[in-house]
C-alpha cells in the first residue's frame, strides 16, 4: 500500500510548477531536486512507519524472552559474593575479589539482556525481518523511480499523462 502511495506521488511530481516556485531564488535548483527531496521525505516517512509497526512486535519479543530467561538469582549473587570473600580470606587476593565483583556486576547488568536477545521466537523474528525487507524494497523502488524521473522527466511524465487522459482526468 505504501509503495503505491509513494509511487503515485513520485509520478505526480512532474505536474507541479517547480519553475514558478523557484523564480524568487538567486540560483534555481536543478531539475532533479524535487525528486531527491521527495525521495528523502518518502524514505523518512516509510522508516517511521516501519518503526511504528515494529514497536509492538519488539515489545512482544522482549516480553517472551523475559518470561523465558531467568534473571540473576539470589543463589548466583550469593555465590559471587562468597567467592570474592573466600579469595580475600584465604589468599588475601584483593584484586581477585575485585575482579569477581566486577564479573558479578557485569553479569547482573548485561546478562539478562543478552539472554533476551537470543530467545526471540522464530515467528516474531520472521515477522520483524519481513517488515524490514518490505520497507527496504519500498524505499529502493521509490529511489529508482525518483532517479528515473530526475534524469528523464519526460519519459515517465508522458506515460502518466497518457494514463490520466485515459482515466478521464485532465491536467
Report the range of poorest mean pLDDT among 4-13, 65-74, 137-146.
65-74
- Residue 70's pLDDT band (cuts 50, 70, 90): low
Cα(42)–Cα(159) distance, integer angstroms: 22
Q: Where are the domains of the chain?
A: 33-66+123-165, 70-118
- The CA-based dihedral angle spanning residues 104, 105, 106, 108, taken in that order and rounded to the nearest 10 degrees: 80
Angle between helices 94-118 and 33-68 (to 10 degrees): 110
pLDDT for position 119:
67
Cα(131)–Cα(73) distance, integer angstroms: 36
Q: Mean pLDDT across the stretch 156-161?
A: 69
How is residue 1 written as a grid cell?
A: 500500500
Task: Provide the H-helix boundaries in the chain.
Answer: 2-12, 18-21, 33-68, 74-91, 94-118, 122-151, 153-167
- Residue 87's pLDDT band (cuts 50, 70, 90): low
Whether the predicted pLDDT of 71 surpasses 60 = no
Interacting residues of 75 by C-beta distance below 8 A, sequence separation 6+: none
Cα(32)–Cα(39) distance, integer angstroms: 11
- Residue 5's pLDDT band (cuts 50, 70, 90): confident
Average pLDDT over the chain reads: 75
Cα(115)–Cα(59) distance, integer angstroms: 15
Cα(53)–Cα(40) distance, integer angstroms: 20
- Residue 171's pLDDT band (cuts 50, 70, 90): low
Report the range of poorest mean pLDDT among 18-32, 99-113, 123-137, 146-160.
99-113
Query: 37-66, pLDDT tens digit by residue?
Result: 888 888 899 889 889 988 888 888 877 766
pTM of the model: 0.55
Amino acid at each position: 500500500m505504501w509503495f503505491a502511495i509513494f509511487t503515485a506521488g513520485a509520478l505526480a511530481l512532474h505536474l507541479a510548477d517547480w519553475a514558478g516556485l523557484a523564480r524568487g531564488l538567486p540560483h534555481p535548483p536543478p531539475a532533479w531536486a524535487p525528486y531527491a527531496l521527495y525521495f528523502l521525505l518518502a524514505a523518512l516517512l516509510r522508516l517511521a512507519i516501519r518503526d511504528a509497526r515494529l514497536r509492538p512486535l519488539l515489545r512482544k519479543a522482549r516480553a517472551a524472552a523475559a518470561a523465558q530467561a531467568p534473571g540473576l538469582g539470589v543463589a548466583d549473587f550469593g555465590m559471587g559474593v562468597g567467592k570474592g570473600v573466600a579469595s580475600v580470606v584465604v589468599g588475601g587476593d584483593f584484586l581477585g575479589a575485585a575482579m569477581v565483583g566486577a564479573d558479578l556486576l557485569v553479569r547482573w547488568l548485561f546478562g539478562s539482556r543478552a539472554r533476551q536477545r537470543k530467545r526471540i521466537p522464530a515467528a516474531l523474528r520472521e515477522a520483524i525481518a519481513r517488515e524490514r525487507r518490505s520497507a527496504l524494497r519500498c524505499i529502493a523502488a521509490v529511489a529508482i523511480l525518483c532517479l528515473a524521473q530526475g534524469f528523464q522527466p519526460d519519459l515517465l511524465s508522458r506515460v502518466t499523462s497518457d494514463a490520466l487522459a485515459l482515466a478521464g482526468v485532465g491536467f
